[in-house]
Chains A and B, each alone.
Chain A
Amino acid sequence: MNVKLNGEWHEIPDHLDDVRTLLSHFQLDSRVVMVELNDTILEKSEHGNSQLHEGDQIELVQFVGGG
């Protein structure tokens, strides 16, 4: 399915049907990541039941520590 990820269209495998599987696909599941799905910020507890659909707009912001 096609989703807009951080401003760019990407084709992602269809089995990535919720936010949690999307994050593990990008190996971000052990990181602290803020997810915005179609202009709504998700709580971490919502990642597993937030279904992804064709045309979704997703912003992934990873909190990093370096400086």
Chain B
Amino acid sequence: MNDRYSRQTLFQPIGEKGQEKISSKHVLIIGAGALGTGAAENLVRAGVGKLTIIDRDYVEWSNLQRQQLYTEKDAETRLPKAVAARQRLEQVNSEVIIDAKVIDATPLELEPLLDGVDVIIDATDNFDIRMIINDLSQKHQIPWIYGACVGSYGISYTILPGDTPCLHCLMEQVPLGGLTCDTAGIISPAVQMVTAHQTAEAMKLLVEDWGAVRKKLVSFDLWTNQHSAIGVSSVKKDDCPSCGREASYPFLSYDQQMKTAVLCGRDSVQIRPASKQEWNLTVLAETLAGQEGKVEKNPYLLSFTTGDKRMVFFKDGRALIHGTQDVAEAKTLYHRYTG
């Protein structure tokens, strides 16, 4: 026995008892990008019993500025993020059981992973997956911690099934198109601030210090020096389809999920978003204008060419990703530019 956790157990709200609880708990982190690597490193250093981390993507050079577990070698070899993360995390703390999976976060893939999970940390980059996490959390009564960031801005909220409003209550609609780290950029301190909020909340849940859990929706902008924390308990809806009295978990049903189809012989993947919404092509054109690539638009569709890929967004909400037959790669590209 070494004194690895001595400074953490000296912290009175955790103590030896809290440390024992932490070491008996299981956290699932969905996404191994900026937020996921940050939360994973924090929790593994803190001595969580088991960590499951999943991601569908591989390490690229543009990740290294903020995704703290990865090295140049990982980018050179295009190592899957989950694999590279596991390798580093095992070096950081060999006492923690690390389960890393290279998978796409669909309800079918996620549900079997939830057995024995105490807390879910959202480290995803889009709302399609978040709404699925939200429904799974309610269905299985597992708390989850929303976190997101773009530019110098970040936001986080802790969702406790049966207590707080859920993400579906908070967001009356799932946004189609929005700022992303690939369109508006991101600075690492914004990531770390969100990670700090998420990890602190996770630690409170792991040691079962329910009274310390932050009940407010917190947001900040580190560049414009703004900070906000608002109480949102009033928006919990009794008839919410995800957390209400007669919850039906709509985002777990096939109809409500993003649909993808590989178009045979065209080296293309079609993406149909989960909710029926039209693209605002003018706003999308403005968002993409700052990107490396070429934007062309007519009244019916917008085409964005970058490298050897071309993405075509139809007004009716569909998108075609040309230059790949890999659904996971197409989804990654889609979310990179549209949120």
Contacts and interface: CB of A to CB of B under 8 A. Distances in A.
Interface of A: 6-8, 30-32, 34, 36, 40-41, 43-44, 59-67
**Nearest 8 Cβ contacts at the A-B interface:** A66-B150, A65-B339, A66-B181, A67-B35, A64-B150, A32-B175, A36-B230, A61-B219
Nearest to B282: A30
Given A7-B227, A66-B125, A34 B150 contact: no
Contact of A7 (B149, B226, B335): B226
B120 interface: no
Nearest to A32: B175
B234 A41 contact: yes
A3 to B, nearest CB: 14
A41 B230 CA distance: 9
B122 interface: yes
18 contacts: A6-B228, A8-B226, A30-B283, A32-B178, A41-B234, A43-B172, A59-B230, A61-B217, A63-B148, A64-B148, A64-B149, A64-B150, A65-B125, A65-B175, A66-B125, A67-B35, A67-B148, A67-B181
Nearest to B149: A66
A41 to B, nearest CB: 5
B232 A34 contact: yes
Given A32-B175, A41-B234, A66-B180, 18 more contacts: A8-B226, A30-B280, A30-B283, A32-B171, A41-B230, A61-B217, A63-B171, A63-B175, A64-B149, A64-B150, A65-B339, A66-B149, A66-B181, A66-B184, A66-B186, A67-B33, A67-B123, A67-B149
B172 A44 contact: yes
A6 B339 CA distance: 24
Contacts of A61: 155, 217, 219, 228, 230
B143 interface: no
Nearest to A42: B235
Interface in B137-186: 147-150, 153, 155, 170-173, 175, 177-181, 184, 186
A31 B194 CA distance: 20
Nearest to B130: A65
A43 B280 CA distance: 23
Contacts of B173: 32, 44
B245 to A, nearest CB: 19
Contacts of A60: 228
A7 B218 CA distance: 13
B288 to A, nearest CB: 15
Contacts, number: 95
Interface extent on B, as a size class? Answer: 35 or more
Most B-side CB within 10 Å, residue of A36, A61, A63: A63
Nearest to A63: B171
A41 B148 contact: no
B178 A65 contact: yes
A6 B224 CA distance: 11
A67 B280 CA distance: 23
Nearest to A61: B219
Contacts of A31: 175, 178
Contacts of B228: 6-7, 59-61
A60 B231 CA distance: 12
A64 B155 contact: yes
B251 to A, nearest CB: 15
A8 to B, nearest CB: 7
Interface string B313-339: 000000000000000000000010001
A6 B147 CA distance: 19
Nearest to B36: A67
B118 to A, nearest CB: 21
